[in-house]
Chains A and B, each alone.
Chain A
Amino acid sequence: MSEQNLFKVTIDNISIEVPAGTTVLQAARLIGGQVAPPAMCFYSKLEGSGGKCRTCLVEVSKGSEKDPRPMPKLVASCRTTVMDGMEVKNITSEKVLDARAGVVEFLLLNHPLDCPICDQAGECHLQDLSFEHGKADTRYEFQRRTFKKHDLGKNIQLHMTRCILCYRCVFTADQLTNKRVHGILDRGDHAEIATHIEKSLDNEFIGNVIDVCPVGALTDKTFRFKNRVWFLKPMDAHRDCPTCSGRVTLWNRGDEVYRVTARKDQWGEIEDTPDGKPGWICNTCRFDKKETSDWTIEGPREISRQSVIAQGHYAGNIGTTKPNETFKAVNDGRAPHLLMDIHDESEVNQPNIHLGKIQGPSHGDTFNTNNTHKA
C-alpha cells in the first residue's frame, strides 16, 4: 500500500519519489540546493500558509503519467501537490525566471530601501530574493505607501512600510496563541498589520512572529539598533524552560547577550526539537533572559558560508571556553612592558555600558562615557 502512495516527480531533471499529497515545493526542498524555489509566504510549520507571494512559481511541463498535458500557466509550487510522473521546471525554465523577476519587482514596489537602518538586514529573505532573482532597477515612479505608526507593545516593533503581507504572523498568532489580537486591516493598498484598537501583543508565544517575518516588518524591540547581525556571535544554547523547548540561538557580542532567537534551518524556518515538534520559543526566553548565565551554551551555531553572518568565522569551541592569555607564557613569565588598553582610547564597546540589558534601543546619552548603563 505504501509503495502505491509514492509518486515519482521530476524537478529540473532530478527525479525523487515522495508520498502522495506532498507539494512540489516540499519535494524540491527534499532535493535541495537551487532546485528548491524561494518562498516568502509559505512556512512549512504553519498550517494554511502559502499561495500569496507567488515567488515559488514553477512551470509544470508534464501534468502526470496519465494526463501528460502541461499546465497552461505557471503554478505556485507551495500549493500544488505532486502527481505521479509529474515533470516540473524551476530554474531550467526561462518563463519561471522571468516571472520571478517580475514578482520580485512587485514585492519591492512599496518596500522602502532602508536596509541600512533595518535590523533584519543580513538575514532578510527579501534581500536574498531580490539579490538572487530580482533586477537591479525598478520602473515604479510614484511615492511608496506610508502608514500611521502602530505600537505593538514593549517587545515587538512594527514597520508596516516594510511588510509584504505574507500573513505568516497571522497564522502564527492563530496557531500558537489562544487569542489573536493582530491581523490585516483594510483592503488593497491600504491593507496593514494592526491591532484593533491599539492593543499590545503580549501572549507568551507571540514573539515568534519576529522569527517568521520574512522581512523587517516585525522586529525585536529589545534588540532594536543594538548592532548589526553580522557583527554578533551566534551560539546554540538551551535552558530549562517550563513553557517552551528552551532551545535557542544566542546572538552575543563578547559575553553580552544582545538577542535571542529560535534556531532556524536552511530554509529560514524554525528548527524542530529532537521530539519532532517545531521549536517555537516563549517570550520569557526571547526577551527576558539576556544574561549568559541564564543559558547553557552548546557552541557556535553553524551559519551558511554564503551568509554575511558567517563573516566572523565563529567555529570550534568559541563561547564554551575562554582563550588563554599567551603573552606571559611566551615572554618568560614577564608582563608586557608597554600595554595600551584599547578601552582607554576607544569609546566603542565600553566595558561599563551593557547594551544587552537596555530594554529598548540606545540613545545618545547611553554612550556618554561617565554614564553607567540604564536598566
Chain B
Amino acid sequence: MQPLTNKAQAVSRAPMTFWERLYLINIIKGMFITFSHMFKKQPTTRYPEEKRAFSPVFRGLHVLNRDEEGRERCTACGLCAVACPAEAITMEAAERETGEEHLYREEKYAAKYEINMLRCIFCGLCEEACPKDAIYLSETFAPANYTRKGFIYGKPDLLIPNPKTEASDLALARGVEA
C-alpha cells in the first residue's frame, strides 16, 4: 500500500555502534525532557484543597425541585423512569389529601422517589424528560463508599430545602454550588 504520510521510516537493522550501546546520549536526552517539565504548567490540581470549576453542562447528583411556595413539583408521572436507560429511578405515587396543598403542587405526588446511584450513569435524560421541572442534575458528586448500602437515594436525600421554611439552608446549598 502507498504510504499516506511521510512519517513512516524504515527500521534500521544495522548493529549498534559503541556510542549507541553506551546509551549515554539517549539517557541525557531523556533526563532533559523530564527536567524541562519542571518549568511547564502543572495539569494536576491538589484536589481537596484546590477544586476545579465544573463545566456549565456538568451533570452530577440529582435534586428534586420545589416551586416558589415550597411545594414539591414532582407528580410521579414516571417519564424520568421510562426515559432512564439504566433503570435507576423508581417511585410510588399517592393522591394529595385535603390539607396537603401546601406540600405538593399537583393532585398526585411522589410518596416515594428513589434513584439508585449505583445504576445511574448521569446521562441527564431524566432532567430532559421531566415535564414539571422537578428533577435537575446539580454540580455535585455522589460521595464514594466502601459498601453498596446507602446508594439508594430517597426523597429526603434529593429534595432541595424548602425556600419558605429553610431559606438559609437553600442559600447555603446554592452558595456552595456556585
Chain A contact residues, CB within 8 Å of chain B: 114-117, 121, 224-228, 230-231, 308, 311, 340, 344-349, 355, 360-364, 366-367
14 contacts between A and B (CB under 8 A): A114-B107, A225-B76, A226-B93, A227-B78, A227-B93, A340-B149, A346-B90, A347-B154, A348-B92, A348-B114, A361-B108, A362-B92, A363-B97, A366-B94
**Separation of A231 and B100 alpha carbons in the complex (Å):** 27
Q: Given A116-B75, A364-B100, A231 and B106 touching (CB < 8 A)?
A: no
The 10 A-B residue pairs with the shortest CB-CB distance, nearest first, are A116-B77, A228-B78, A361-B95, A348-B90, A345-B152, A225-B93, A367-B111, A362-B94, A117-B108, A116-B75
**Separation of A346 and B111 alpha carbons in the complex (Å):** 13
Q: Given A340-B148, A347-B112, A117 and B97 touching (CB < 8 A)?
A: no
Q: Given A345-B152, A348-B114, A364-B97, A116 and B91 touching (CB < 8 A)?
A: no
**Can you add 12 more A-B contacts, CB < 8 Å, to A355-B92, A363-B95?**
A116-B108, A116-B132, A311-B82, A340-B148, A340-B149, A346-B90, A346-B152, A362-B95, A362-B111, A363-B111, A364-B97, A367-B111
Contact A116 B94 (CB under 8 A): no
Contact A361 B90 (CB under 8 A): no
B30 CB–A CB distance under 8 Å: no
Question: Which of B78, B90, B112, B131 is the one whose CB lies under 8 Å from A230?
Answer: B78
- Name the residue on B nearest A227 (C-beta): B93
Contact B92 A367 (CB under 8 A): yes
Contact A231 B95 (CB under 8 A): no
Contact B94 A225 (CB under 8 A): yes
- Name the residue on A nearest B134 (C-beta): A116
Q: What B residues does A362 contact at CB under 8 A? A: 92-95, 111
**Separation of A311 and B75 alpha carbons in the complex (Å):** 21
Q: Given A346-B90, A347-B112, A348-B92, A115 and B77 touching (CB < 8 A)?
A: yes
Q: What B residues does A228 contact at CB under 8 A? A: 77-78, 82
Per the 8 Å Cβ criterion, residues 30-55 of B in contact with A are none
B158 CB–A CB distance under 8 Å: no
B170 CB–A CB distance under 8 Å: no
**Separation of A230 and B90 alpha carbons in the complex (Å):** 13
Q: What A residues does B91 contact at CB under 8 A? A: 348
Q: Given A231-B81, A348-B90, A364-B97, A117 and B111 touching (CB < 8 A)?
A: no
Chain A: minimal CB distance from B161 (Å): 20
B79 CB–A CB distance under 8 Å: yes
Contact B108 A349 (CB under 8 A): no
- Name the residue on B nearest A308 (C-beta): B82
Q: What A residues does B97 contact at CB under 8 A? A: 363-364
Q: What A residues does B148 contact at CB under 8 A? A: 340
Question: Which of B79, B94, B106, B154 is the one whose CB lies under 8 Å from A361?
Answer: B94
- Name the residue on A nearest B113 (C-beta): A348
Contact A364 B94 (CB under 8 A): yes
Q: Given A348-B92, A362-B94, A121 and B112 touching (CB < 8 A)?
A: no
Contact A345 B149 (CB under 8 A): yes
**Separation of A224 and B95 alpha carbons in the complex (Å):** 8
**Separation of A252 and B63 alpha carbons in the complex (Å):** 30
Q: What B residues does A347 contact at CB under 8 A? A: 92, 112, 114, 154
Chain B: minimal CB distance from A347 (Å): 5
Q: What A residues does B108 contact at CB under 8 A? A: 116-117, 225, 361
**Separation of A117 and B94 alpha carbons in the complex (Å):** 11
Q: What A residues does B132 contact at CB under 8 A? A: 116
Contact A366 B111 (CB under 8 A): yes
Q: What A residues does B93 contact at CB under 8 A? A: 225-227, 362
- Name the residue on A nearest B94 (C-beta): A362
**Separation of A362 and B75 alpha carbons in the complex (Å):** 14
Q: Given A115-B77, A228-B77, A348-B112, A367 and B90 touching (CB < 8 A)?
A: no
Per the 8 Å Cβ criterion, residues 105-134 of B in contact with A are 106-108, 111-112, 114, 116, 131-132
Q: What A residues does B90 contact at CB under 8 A? A: 346, 348-349
**Separation of A285 and B81 alpha carbons in the complex (Å):** 30
Chain A: minimal CB distance from B112 (Å): 5
Chain B: minimal CB distance from A290 (Å): 18
Contact A116 B131 (CB under 8 A): yes
**Separation of A153 and B164 alpha carbons in the complex (Å):** 39
Q: What B residues does A360 contact at CB under 8 A? A: 95
**Separation of A362 and B95 alpha carbons in the complex (Å):** 6
Chain B: minimal CB distance from A175 (Å): 33
- Name the residue on A nearest B151 (C-beta): A345
**Separation of A361 and B76 alpha carbons in the complex (Å):** 13
Q: What A residues does B150 contact at CB under 8 A? A: 345
Contact B82 A117 (CB under 8 A): no
Chain A: minimal CB distance from B125 (Å): 14
